[in-house]
Amino acid sequence: MPFTLPPALDAFVKGLVARGRYADESDVVRDALRRLADGDFDPETGEPIAALRAELAEAETGPRSALGVMAVFDAVAAGSSAAE
């Protein structure tokens, strides 16, 4: 199935091959399609889903401040006006 990529994507694919990440251009396309099919990337945005889920999980389970958002905002605002 021959196809043509826009110049920027063509250069990107060739760069991946030149750096040794893939054996050839077909390997790049196969890997990209496999990742899309496996759900590794959101087909609408191209965002790496696993990475986003990992960051979300870390944010949900990570340390939390005892201060509320508004208290932090007020502290930052007070610090800014004190410097003026």
CA distance 18 to 25: 10
Of residues 38 and 34, more confidence is placed in 34
Return the pLDDT at 12: 95
The answer to the question of residue 77 being in a domain is yes
Count up the domains in the chain and report the number: 1
Q: Given pLDDT bands bounded at 50, 70 and 90, which one contains residue 83?
A: very low
Q: What is the pTM of this model?
A: 0.52
Q: pLDDT tens across 41-71, in order? A: 777 777 788 777 888 888 888 777 677 788 8
Mean pLDDT across the chain: 84
The answer to the question of residue 75 being in a domain is yes
Domain range enclosing 36: 7-82
DSSP secondary structure string, the chain? Answer: ------HHHHHHHHHHHHTTSSSSHHHHHHHHHHHHHHTSB-TTT--BHHHHHHHHHHHHHS---SS-HHHHHHHHHHHHHHT-
CA distance 22 to 38: 19
The answer to the question of residue 1 being in a domain is no
